[in-house]
Structure 1
Amino acid sequence: MDPDVALRLFEEGATLVLLGVPQGTELGIDCKSWQVGPRFRGIKMIPPGLHFLHYSAGNPSQSRGEIFLKTGFFLSLRPREILLAKWDPKEEDLDFSASKNQEEVGRIQASLQELDPYLGPYPYDMMRKWVSLTNHLSKELVQNLQPLSGRISSYCDIIPEVEFRHTEDRAQHPRNDTACTSMKEGLERLPRMKQREGTELRFSAIPKKTYPPGATPAQITQCSLDLSYALETVLKNYGPQPHHILGELQFAFVCFLVANVYEGFEHWKGLLALLCRSEEAMVKQKELYLELIAVLYHQLGEIPTDFFVDIVSQDNFLTATLQDFFQFARGSSVDGTLRKRAEKFKGHLTKKFAWDFDMDMDDCAPVVVDLPEEFTLE
């Protein structure tokens, strides 16, 4: 990097000072991660805006097969902002409460030049990728979607629905010192669990019923084939900004791709099915669907070509969903620009994944086809 550019980034970029992070911890920002070394004290030259800090306690290189759970959270950083966090060994987590101590932050700021050799630079080679995956996300939207705790975890923090703190409470619970006579009895003996309050991702609810109240059989059939009514129900949550659904699609994808949250993958699938199977909405919401193609282009570019073969194609979700999308996009009522963009996108996916979206999807899984010429989105 040019020295003048590096100096300007150092002076204008935000800085994360992360003290006490154990050596060997896997820590990253946005789409890049590293193993923490003995000199690590934080990350410098971070461009202002929205970022995702994530880490896994423990040393994967010495784990002997042990799985380390990942934790992360979004940060909205201002130019020249300094955030200070200290590692809490008991909780195995970063504690940012030190950032509220202005005196301590002031000391860090005054000694930033001395701290510089211990700060790793932001991975600018990954910045374009990160922006393309989050360009519809905003600080406000993230705050509405993330858990109230602010932490996004790859594990589900569950606790018993009823805590038996007293002897008389436990006495009323089925005893576990006798053998179960059936599977049902065994399941009934297990404590009922719930997710700890404040740790839940707050995704939009996708309607289970895709038709309006009092719908006739004909309307139910129509709304089952064209999910536009259900989509409009979700879009109402965003008021005058329906494009925020694309931000939620990106949020769910980042939670899955970076934070390893399976719930994010499931919600991404649900939103994608809703968007791709809404023929009437595709006619009315041209700009939304043009942006959807761009969002999917970048998202699917981050996934290995064999990923969907191994996982999604078990029920053929993605190919079936996108086949419906491309079929609707060919409709005569759909805007011409959207039709052409959808056709180019279909050609790109056919080349990347070797799928034929024009075949009967009930016949078999995705198959190898003749590849089209090179595809560019622009």
Structure 2
Amino acid sequence: MAAVASILNSLKNGDELPMNVVNYMYENGGFLLFLNFPEGSEFGIDYKSWKTGEKFKGLKMIPPGVHFVYCSIRGMPRIGFFHTFKSGDILVKKWDRQKEDFCDEVVTEDDIKEKRNQLKSLDSNLAPYPYENYRSWYALTDFVTPTTVERVQPLKGRITAQAELVSLETKVMENKELRIEGAGSNRVDRDHPVRTRFVDQNGLPIMQIREGYEIRFQDIPQLRADMARIGIEHSDRLNSLLRQFGEDWKQLLAELQIAFVCFLIGQVFEGFEQWKRLIHLLCCCPNSLGARSEMFLAFVRVLFFQLKECPSDFFVDIVSRDNFLTTTLSMFFANVRDSAHAPENLKRKSAQFKAYLTRQFKWDFECND
């Protein structure tokens, strides 16, 4: 398997899969049966999507590991899910035309055996995994593990670009034990003759994502009032966040990667917001550059591939709108350059990354503030 993985990672666009690898992946890859999906709709996995034909019933030869499957009909927002495919795994989903949503097909062990016996007859209805894009996908998700997926994936099992929203008032009525700090009381009694409605400063209902549909990103420690005098040094917040990850910095970077995928491919704006929050935090910890240099070296690499792989017309215009990335990275590059503790390899990689971004996107990192 190690030799096969090496071949898969070395593939470039346009490369054909060697026949021995094709045979190996057919026997050892995963299968996704996606039944009853409408013809002419968008269906995708990882970094590739297609318009489906009338015979489409799923995918074959999916490499073991974490993948993101998504779909959209009639131009509607994408809905998708992360799944960790094991060797020989058969996952069955069924499209519900009435609800315009997918659901898990209830299958027993006997059903799986039967479907495995049917794979040969279904072969012409199953699209092969797009190996020409596997290298890009791996570069975007190499820190993401099954643990990351289990922790982050919504409890309802789907990630949607069209959030399932409910008013805060409805949410409180559905869960009377819910307490929202500063939101007021929802109880009607002698002391509260008029029910308090949950509205914002413009008088509009406060909306929240319906329970079970939230992407369960890690909460980032808030900036304390006494941190104002520290300026851009937020290592205390970083250390607190890392403790939530069990001191595993690779899981922090995995969250950075999965948030980016949720935005870039899932088209979920909350992924973009979490991605921004994590980048800002990591760029503002000059006192940690020495002690956590391995993490910051990996951070530079993760960000390099994210900006390298994303289509400029979809992403760069968005991040350029408020210029957060150039401003935040300016602080990071200056912190690394001026640090007495950052190792030379981090300084070199940081300078190379800065030169690449300046050349590729014409961004100016020479800020005086």
TM-score (norm 1): 0.81
Residue 103 of structure 2 corresponds to 95
- Residue aligned with 1:209, SS: coil
| Structure 2 counterpart SS, 1:287 | helix
Picking from 32, 53, 68, the partner of 2:48 is 32
After superposition, residues 79-158 of structure 1 pair within 5 angstroms as 79-98=87-106, 100-158=107-165
The one-letter code matched in structure 2 to 1:45 is M
Q: How does 1:290-369 map to 2 (within 5 A)?
A: 290-305=297-312, 310-330=317-337, 331-357=339-365, 359-360=366-367
Question: 1:14 & 1:250 partners in 2: Cα distance?
Answer: 23
Per-residue deviation, 1:187: 5.4
Q: 2:55 aligns to what SS in structure 1?
A: coil
For residue 218 of structure 2, what is the aligned residue in structure 1?
204
- Structure 1 residue 228: Cα displacement: 1.1
Q: Which letter maps to 1:139?
A: P
CA contact (8 A) 2:263 2:272 kept: yes
Q: Any unmatched runs of 5+ in structure 1?
A: 61-67, 175-183, 363-378
3-state SS of 1:51 partner: strand
- Secondary structure of the equivalent of 2:95? strand
Higher RCO, Cα 8 Å, sep 6+: 2
Local SS of the residue matching 1:283: coil
Is the alpha carbon distance of 1:162 and 1:240 closer, same or farther for their aligned partners in structure 2, counting shifts above 3 Å?
Answer: closer
SS of 1:314's equivalent in the other structure is: helix
CA-to-aligned-CA distance 1:138-193 (integer Å, 9 cap, x gap) = 1111111121112111111112334599xxx9xx789xxxxxxxxx99954x5543
Equivalent in the alignment of 1:78: 86
- Note the C-alpha offset of 1:226: 1.0
Q: 1:54 aligns with which of 70, 85, 105?
A: 70
* Offset at residue 59 of structure 1 (A): 3.2
Q: Which residue of the partner structure matches residue 372 of structure 1? A: none
Shift in alpha-carbon separation, 1:133–1:73, aligned structure 2, 3 A: same
Match of 1:261 in 2: 268
Cα–Cα, structure 1 residues 148 and 308, in superposed 2: closer, same or farther, change >3 Å?
Answer: closer
Aligned-residue sequence identity (percent) comes to: 38
CA distance in structure 2 between the partners assigned to 1:115 and 1:226 by the alignment: 58
Deviation at 1:210, TM superposition (A): 4.2
Instruction: Tell me, in whole angstroms, the C-alpha distance in 1 between the residues paired with 2:224 and 2:93.
Output: 46
Residue 277 (structure 1) shift: 1.2
Q: 2:36 aligned to 13, 17, 20, which one? A: 20
Which residue of the partner structure matches residue 373 of structure 1? none
Task: Kindly provide the amino acid, as one letter, of the partner of residue 220 in structure 2.
Answer: I
Which stretch shows the higher mean deviation, 291-300 or 232-241?
Answer: 232-241
Find the aligned partners of 2:265 and 2:62 in 1 and give their Cα distance: 18
**In structure 2, C-alpha distance between the alignment counterparts of 1:269 and 1:154, rounded to whole Å:** 18
With over 3 angstroms needed to count, the CA separation of the structure-2 counterparts of 1:350 and 1:192, relative to structure 1, is closer
How far off is 1:45 after superposition? 0.5
1:3 to 4, 19, 39: 19
Q: Using structure 2 for the length normalisation, give the TM-score.
A: 0.83
Task: Supply the RMSD in Å over aligned alpha carbons.
Answer: 2.5
Q: Which amino acid aligns with 1:122?
A: Y
The CA distance in 1 between the partners of 2:94 and 2:35, in whole Å, is: 5
C-alpha deviations, 1:263-315, integer Å up to 9, x for none? 10011011001001110111210100010011011000123446666332333
42 and 265 in structure 1: CA distance in 2 versus 1, 3 angstrom threshold = same
Q: CA deviation at 1:105?
A: 2.0
Map 1:265-280 → 2, pairs under 5 A: 265-280=272-287
Shift of 1:238: 0.9
Secondary structure, in 3 states, of the residue corresponding to 1:225?
coil
Instruction: For residue 119 of structure 1, report the CA deviation from its aligned partner.
Output: 0.5
The residue correspondences of 1:214-253 to structure 2 (distance < 5 A) are: 215=226, 220-222=228-230, 224-253=231-260
SS in structure 2 of the partner of residue 243 of structure 1: helix
Q: Which amino acid aligns with 1:48?
A: P
CA offsets 1:63-114 (integer angstroms, 9 cap, x no match)? xxxxx1111111111111111222111221222232x322222221111111
- Whether the 8 Å contact between 1:305 and 1:353 is mirrored in structure 2 is no
For 1:322, the aligned partner's letter is: L
